[in-house]
């Protein structure tokens, strides 16, 4: 039995999330169906995490095991010939039998895209969150400062979330302007792992700060309460993109040119005080110096 690691990119608009669900189209379900068509046998595909309905992925790792005598490039070409056009296998590599796409990860990164403008962009539907009112980015960055670190994020998870460990290390938040066909503002979040809906609730709460519906300092109290009703609304799923899953470099190391990140920060790096970029890996929660 051999273990194969897939690097996927997919548009989540038509799907009910990653995980297989009865009578609903899912990313996992489509890949397992393609594998069965290809080999004649069922192969369980294990993802690096669950994405919600409508959420997109840019660089998503998943793995499966097979006794088939295929080469990596054969798996890639055959699967891409069978999968729908909104799911693409961008690379396949063989890994040790013990490898697990989720259990072996040491960090994850998501980006949330906002279209902050007076007029709606019809081409951005299901790919960003349209917010007509101007957002106060300075206030949002101040609020984000209170969220970076190791905390109990119970206030920022779905009310039905069954994850046994609500304490997460939110390592970094970046809020910046970007150039994209679908939006002009990004919020990037990196943590050791995330709770269900955590990124979308963080995004929704920070937007409420930007709209002056909340004070930045209220983030401290929201964290302390550990109560979902104290945080903001859950941001729409279409604006969320899985950006990266991190592994020890001796276990997984993708070539940089293979990884997709279409959301480039527009500010000059020498003017990084214009956007928020804090990291719990620093000795104190202070802006990164350029």
Of 52, 86, 104, 227, the catalytic one is: 52
Handedness of CA 166, 167, 168, 170 (dihedral sign): positive
- Residue 125 sits in the same domain as residue 256: yes
pLDDT for the residue 162: 67
CB atoms within 10 A of CB 284: 6
Domain end among 65, 95, 125: 95
> Domains in the chain: how many in total?
2
Q: What integer pLDDT is reported at residue 263 of this predicted model?
A: 87
Q: Which two tokens stand for residue 171?
A: 């390592």
Same domain, 66 and 6: yes
Claim to verify: residue 54 and residue 166 sit in the same structural domain: no
Residue 164 has pLDDT above 90, yes or no: no
- The answer to whether residue 21 sits within a structural domain is yes
The answer to whether residue 131 is domain-embedded is yes
CATH number at residue 113: 3.30.70.660
Q: Is 69 exposed, middle or buried (0-12, 13-18, 19+ CB in 10 A)?
A: exposed
Interval 117-138 mean pLDDT = 95
Q: Is residue 102 part of a domain?
A: no
Report pTM.
0.91
Residue 31 lies in a domain: yes
* Bigger pLDDT: 163 vs 272: 163
> In terms of domains, do 231 and 260 share one?
yes
* For range 186-214, the mean pLDDT: 97
Establish if 242 belongs to a structural domain: yes
Shared-domain flag, residues 153 and 241: yes
Whether residues 121 and 43 fall in one domain = no
CATH code of the domain in which 10 resides? 3.30.70.580
Domain boundary among the residues 47, 75, 95 is at 95
Q: What is the reported pLDDT for 161?
A: 81
User: Is residue 284 in a domain?
Assistant: no
Does one domain contain both 33 and 136? no
Question: Average pLDDT, stretch 255-267?
Answer: 86
Over pLDDT 90: what percentage of the chain?
84
158 shares its domain with 266: yes
Q: Is residue 231 part of a domain?
A: yes
My answer on whether 257 and 157 are in the same domain is yes
Both 264 and 196 in one domain: the answer is: yes
Of 58, 73, 95, which residue sits at a domain end? 95
Note the pLDDT tens digit of each residue in 17-60: 999 999 999 999 999 999 999 999 999 999 999 999 999 999 99
pLDDT greater than 90 at residue 265? no
Task: Provide the pLDDT confidence category of residue 186 given band limits of 50, 70 and 90.
Answer: very high
* pLDDT(277) > 80: no
Interval 101-106 mean pLDDT:
97
Tell me, yes or no, if 52 is annotated catalytic. Answer: yes
Instruction: Judge if 228 and 115 occupy the same domain.
Output: yes
Which range marks the domain in which residue 263 is found? 107-279
Q: Which residue has the tokens 């792992």?
A: 193
In a domain, 288, yes or no: no
d(CA 208, CA 227): 17
**Do residues 132 and 66 both lie within one domain?**
no
Summarize the confidence of residues 111-117 as an average pLDDT. 96
């Amino acid at each position: 039995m051999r273990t194969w690691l897939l690097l996927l990119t997919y548009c989540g608009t038509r799907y009910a999330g990653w995980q297989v669900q009865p009578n609903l189209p899912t990313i996992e379900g489509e890949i397992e169906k393609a594998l069965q068509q290809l080999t004649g046998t069922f192969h369980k595909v294990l993802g690096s995490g669950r994405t919600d309905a409508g959420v997109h992925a840019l660089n998503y790792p998943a793995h499966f095991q097979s006794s088939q005598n295929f080469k990596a490039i054969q798996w890639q070409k055959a699967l891409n010939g069978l999968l729908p056009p909104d799911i693409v296998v961008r690379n396949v590599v063989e890994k040790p039998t013990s490898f697990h796409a989720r259990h072996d990860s040491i960090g994850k990164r998501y980006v949330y895209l906002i279209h902050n403008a007076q007029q709606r962009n019809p081409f951005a539907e299901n790919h960003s969150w349209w917010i007509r009112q101007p957002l106060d980015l300075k206030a949002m960055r101040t609020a984000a400062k209170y969220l970076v670190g190791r905390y109990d994020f119970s206030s920022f998870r779905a009310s039905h979330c069954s994850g046994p460990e609500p304490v997460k290390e939110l390592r970094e938040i970046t809020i910046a302007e970007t150039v994209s066909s679908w939006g002009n503002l990004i919020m990037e979040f990196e943590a050791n792992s995330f709770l269900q809906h955590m990124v979308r609730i963080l995004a929704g709460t920070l937007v409420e700060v930007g709209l002056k519906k909340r004070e930045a300092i209220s983030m401290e109290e929201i964290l302390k309460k550990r109560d979902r009703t104290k945080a903001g609304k859950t941001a729409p799923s279409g604006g969320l993109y899985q950006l990266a899953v991190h592994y020890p470099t001796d276990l997984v190391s993708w070539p940089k040119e293979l990884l997709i990140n279409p959301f480039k920060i527009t500010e000059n790096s020498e003017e990084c005080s214009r956007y928020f970029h804090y990291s719990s890996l620093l000795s104190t929660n202070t802006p990164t110096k350029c």
